[in-house]
Structures are given as structure tokens and as C-alpha cells.
Amino acid sequence: MKQRIFISSVQKEFAEERQALKAYLLGDALLSRFFDVFLFEDLPAADRRADAVYLEEVSRCNVYLALLGNEYGGEDADGFSPTQREFDEATRLGKHRLVFVKGANDEAKHPKMRTLIAEAGAQLIRRRFATAAELIPSVYASLVDYLAVKELLRFGPFDAAACPDATFDDLSSEKIRNFVGIARRARGFPLAENTAPEQVLEHLNLLNKGRPTHAAILLFGKEPQRFLISSEIKCAHFHGIEVTKPIPFYRTYKGTAFDLVDQALDFVLSKINLAVGTRKHSVQVPVAYEMPPEVVREAIVNAVAHRDYTSNGSVQVMLFSDRLEVWNPGTLPPSLTLEKLRHPHGSVPGNPLLAEPLYLTKYIERMGTGTGDMIKLCREAGLAEPEFTLTDGFVTTIRRKPELAFKAVGGQVEAPSRHQAGTKLALSGNQVEILRKCREDSAITKLMELIGRSDRTKFRNQVLKPLLEDGLLGLTVPDKPTSSLQKYRLTEKGKGVLATIAAKKGKS
């Protein structure tokens, strides 16, 4: 949210300076990202007392900027001018006050203005100016200093800055311990699993002057989105090739960076098609998704690890009938181009302290190999190479070929008869999601709602019937298939298929 600047006052003496300041602040590439400006004269006509309006605006502002000149201004019944009232209200409310006085001395000023200047000088540092040309750079410097004090303006990576208002109580000791265990097994992390959480954070450089950094909150926070609202991931599934409403399936995921990657990956894998083979050539049942899970995972991890966390935008994962799109509010560092992404390149993480723990747990690799691996895996799977584009953010697009899943387990594009012994199963992502849901007895209405279907007959014939024929689902009232009490439950064979799928995912 932008900081609001209230520029005092309503005196005609500074009409030009106020407009010049507003135009400059809103036109500056840096300050316009952080500030909005209020001028009393910009308000439309309204049936409200002027003094009530400007005092209300003072209460809403973050920064009170006073321009004090020769004139004191019109006085109310108590002998106070609007500028005096504004300054007193800003002082009472504890607003950040910036006072600029015109002129090298105060001899020509109204006596009450001299008193106000002296009052302000006793409380804060005033700056003097002679012209608008002098005023603007002084205001600029003061606002940059304000941003630095409020830790809104970064002089280093965002993830290294202390997270405002966050304390150790906002971090999960359990999550930190779990991370250490995984990192030790994955990369030989040197700290023991019983190491104090504070020591782990210090080792990972996740403390800033003893306070949790943004990276610490994103990685181990109990509720990361309480501090970084837009760090969530939004996932949507569309049946066609365009964004349409109503969206058949939409979900927002929250949690740590690890949670977000896992949940978004589960979302995609539950929606795309896969094939389950037979044990004809191996004791393990082959399982293949229509696109490599490793590629999907890399696209999502990159979006989480390299996005711009100062943006109000969230990572978006959108699955269409012909493609998967992963969008994040970020861009490429100056040393990289879209063309360089397709070739070996150095690793330039946008959030280096966030990326390190993701590397230690094997969510990402170093040395900039991720995009190259995605291209290689897509080629090997018979898919078009991933597309990388820059729009209002960074987009990774992976093209779909549902029939490739069945080919990958040694079958043909056309599935053989389901009554033939030992056939391979071609399951849609929706069918896998149904199997997972049916770990508990589930009614048809709940299953239809789960995948956004409304036609009961088509759902029964296209989704449920094949699962029943393959013996993956069973009926709770088998002798009355059309019973109103009928529910569906996972069979032992269905449990085996889900276990195989889970094992395949765990290797990705």
C-alpha cells in the first residue's frame, strides 16, 4: 500500500510550490511507487466544513509536509490558522512531520507564523528554501530518508531485509527442525537436527540485526501471508484454451515457500492425464504423466524463488486444455535475456537468501541449470520446448499432449479394451483426483463438485464407469447401483495405483 503525503497548507502563498511538488513526486520513477499526494485544492466541492476535511486528511496521511512562509493564514474563532491546526493534529497523532520554511530569516513573517516556526523547530529539524528549485531536492532527500527508516526502500535484496513487526514467535521451530533434517539428507547440511532454531537462522543469514528477515518468514513462518499478503499462489483450471468465467476450478494456496510449491505441484498433477502400466517388464508398475512432473515443479519453484515480493501480484498457475502457464510478478536480471535462458548461464537468484534453503532441500539446483533441464526433459518426453516470455511479469508456458502419457508406459495412443487382462490404464487428472477423494466413502454429488462437473449422466459414464470397470473404485451398495444412498470407495487395487503415483511424484 502506498504512503500518503499531506502537503500543507491552504495558503495562496504556496499554491505553485504545492502543485510543483505533487507533479514531481507523482512523476518520479522511484517516489511514485511509494507515495500518493493529497492537496486540499484537489477536492471536489462538497457540503462539508473545510476544517473538518483537512483534519480528517491529516489523520489519514503517513507523512505531513508543511510549507511555512510569511503568511499565517485566516484565523478561526480561537485565533488559529488551518496550518496551525494541521500541524498540531499531526503532532498529536504522531505523524511523520517534514517542515520546510521559506526564506533565510523570519523578520518579515507574521508574528504567529514566527511562533509556529519556533514551535516546530523545538520539536524537529526544519529545512529552509528560497525557490521551488531548492525545495524539490530537499523534499526528495527527506522522503528517501523516510523510506529507508521505515525499511520500505531497500539497499540490498528484499529477502535480506528485516520483516516489519515479525518476531521469533512468528516462526515455526518445527518447520526449522524439519528443514534441517531434510537438508542434512539431501545436501549434507552441517548443523545437527537438534540445533537451536536461532542458530539455524544465523547460519542461513536469515536474521537482520537479530530480527527475522522476509526470507525467514517465507521459509519458516507460521502464517507467512500475514506479513507478505501476495506471497500466496493462485491456481485455476480452464477446460478451454482461454481464460473464461465462471472458472471451473480455482483455489488459492497459502503457507511457506515449500508448502506453496508442493500444493501448486499437486494441483497440476491432479488435473493432467497420466497412464499406469503393467508389471510385464518390471516388478514396479510404470507411471507416466502427460508432461514430466520435474518440468512442472521447476516452473513453479522458479516462480516462487525468483518473483518480485514487493509486488502486489501473486504467482498464478493456470492449466488450459492445451498448455500450462506459470506467471510470476518479476522480470529477468540485467545480465540475462530470454535467449540466454535457453543456453547454459550463470545463476542469478532474485532472492538469494530464499533460494539457498530451497537448494539445500533439492527444490532447486545451482548453476542456472533449471531452464536447460526443462527444455531437455520436454524434448525427451516428445513435448514442445517450454516457452519463456516477459509480459507484465515472467511467464513459463508448457504445451500439453495428453496422449503422450499412455505412450510413455509402452501403450498405444488408443487404449486397449478394459476387459483385456493386464491392460494399461489411461487415467485423466480428474480421475486421479476422484480416486484420492474416495479414500473416504463419497457421494456422486461431492465428486462432481470436486472437479466442477454438472452433468450427472456424462460424469457417471465418462469418469466413474471406467474407474469401476477397472476395479479402482467400488460401490458401498453394490446390489443397488442406483440407490440414493450410493457412495463410492477406493478398492485395494485403487490404493495400489495411488501409491504408485505417489512414489512417482516423490522421485520428481
Rounded (5°) CA angle 35-32-165: 45
Does 108 share its domain with 194?
no
Residue 75 lies in a domain: yes
**In this structure, are residues 74 and 81 in contact, taking their beta carbons and an 8 Å threshold?**
yes
C-alpha torsion 177→182→183→184, nearest 10? 90
Residue in the block written with cell 510404470 = 286
Provide CB contacts within 8 A for 105, sequence distance 6+: none
Whether residue 102 is predicted with pLDDT greater than 80 in this model: the reply is yes
Over residues 382-438, the pLDDT tens digits come to 899 999 999 889 999 999 987 765 565 555 433 333 333 334 566 777 888 899 889
Whether residue 494 is predicted with pLDDT greater than 90 in this model: the reply is no
Amino acid at 10: V
Over residues 167-221, the pLDDT tens digits come to 999 999 999 999 999 999 999 999 999 999 999 999 999 999 899 999 999 999 9
Angle, helices 293-306/352-360, rounded to nearest 10 degrees: 150
Q: Assign 261 a pLDDT band (cuts: 50, 70, 90).
A: very high
Does 75 share its domain with 165?
no
What domain range is 466 assigned to? 428-506
Q: What is the mean pLDDT of residues 428-454?
A: 87
Residue 409 lies in a domain: no
Residue 208 lies in a domain: yes
Does 64 share its domain with 200?
no
Where among 149, 171, 187 does a domain terminate?
A: 149
What is the percent of the chain where pLDDT is above 90? 49
**In this structure, are residues 494 and 475 in contact, taking their beta carbons and an 8 Å threshold?**
no
Give the span between the Cα atoms of 424 and 409, in whole angstroms.
8
Provide CB contacts within 8 A for 399, sequence distance 6+: 322, 323, 383, 384, 387
Q: Assign 149 a pLDDT band (cuts: 50, 70, 90).
A: confident
- Return phi, psi of residue 66, to 5°: -105, 135
Residue 419 lies in a domain: no
Where among 205, 227, 249 does a domain terminate?
A: 227
Q: Assign 226 a pLDDT band (cuts: 50, 70, 90).
A: very high
Does 168 share its domain with 253?
no
Where among 227, 256, 275 does a domain terminate?
A: 227
Give the span between the Cα atoms of 461 and 459, in whole angstroms.
6
Residue 101, classified by CB atoms within 10 Å of its CB into exposed (0-12), middle (13-18) or buried (19+), is: buried
Cell numbers at 318, concatenated = 493456470
Residue 165 lies in a domain: yes
- Residues pairing with 386 in the sheet: none
Does 203 share its domain with 59?
no
pLDDT at 1: 75
Cell numbers at 39, concatenated = 492537496
Residue 405, classified by CB atoms within 10 Å of its CB into exposed (0-12), middle (13-18) or buried (19+), is: buried
Does 454 share its domain with 502?
yes
Number of domains in the chain: 4
Provide CB contacts within 8 A for 131, sequence distance 6+: none
Q: Assign 158 a pLDDT band (cuts: 50, 70, 90).
A: confident
Does 381 share its domain with 458?
no
Does 114 share its domain with 174?
no
Residue 418 lies in a domain: no
263 closest CA partner among 229, 239, 232: 232
Residue 411 lies in a domain: no
Is 0.85 topped by the overall pTM?
A: no
Which CATH number do you get for residue 321? 3.30.565.60
Rounded (5°) CA angle 96-97-103: 160
pLDDT at 9: 61
Q: Assign 317 a pLDDT band (cuts: 50, 70, 90).
A: very high
Give the span between the Cα atoms of 145 and 91, in whole angstroms.
19
Cell numbers at 395, concatenated = 511467464
Does 393 share its domain with 255?
yes
Residue 313 lies in a domain: yes
Which CATH number do you get for residue 433? 1.10.10.10
Does 215 share its domain with 143?
no
Does 95 share its domain with 25?
yes
Residue 65, classified by CB atoms within 10 Å of its CB into exposed (0-12), middle (13-18) or buried (19+), is: buried
Does 354 share its domain with 321?
yes
Greatest mean pLDDT range, 40-54, 77-91, 353-367, 428-442: 77-91
